[in-house]
């Protein structure tokens, strides 16, 4: 049987396919997200940005990435 090498995760409400053993940092880098200007939630828990290199993503993980925009 062919081994599945892709997993599905949700990032900001959008389903995407990523490779197995992708770290959160890899994801941010591929998506070209400026790490120092965002905050990240993984499955509704805030992630310490200094640890994203050691966090591997799993099937059905929910990632939220936010930043500052104009507001009153």
Partner 1 sequence: MKKDQLIIDGKKYNSRLIVGTGKYKSFSECANAVKISGAEIVTVAVRRVNIMDTKKPLLMDYINPKKITYLPNTAGCFNSNEALRTLRLAREIGGWKLVKLEVLGDKKNLFPDMIETLKSTEILVKEGFKVMVYCNDDPLIAKKLEDVGASAIMPLASPIGSGLGILNIENLKIIRKQTKLPVIVDAGIGDAPDAAEAMQLGCDGVLINTAIAKAKKPLLMAEAMKYAVISGRKSYLSGRIKYNYTGSASSPKKGII
Residues that bind partner 1 (CB under 8 A): 11-14, 31-34, 36-41, 46-49, 64-72
Closest to partner 1 by CB, 12 or 21: 12
Between CA 8 and CA 66 the distance in angstroms is 20
Query: What is the closest distance, in whole angstroms, from the C-beta atom of residue 1 to partner 1 in the complex?
Result: 32
Query: What is the closest distance, in whole angstroms, from the C-beta atom of residue 19 to partner 1 in the complex?
Result: 17
Mapped onto helix, strand or coil, the DSSP state of residue 60 is: coil
Between CA 72 and CA 61 the distance in angstroms is 32
Query: What is the closest distance, in whole angstroms, from the C-beta atom of residue 51 to partner 1 in the complex?
Result: 12
Question: Look-up: residue for tokens 């892709």?
Answer: 6
């Amino acid at each position: 049987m062919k081994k599945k090498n892709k997993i599905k995760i949700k990032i900001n409400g959008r389903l995407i396919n990523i490779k197995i053993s992708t770290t959160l940092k890899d994801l941010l880098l591929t998506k070209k997200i400026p790490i120092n200007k965002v905050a990240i939630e993984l499955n509704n828990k805030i992630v310490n940005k200094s640890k994203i290199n050691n966090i591997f993503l799993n099937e059905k993980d929910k990632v939220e990435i936010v930043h500052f925009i104009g507001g009153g």
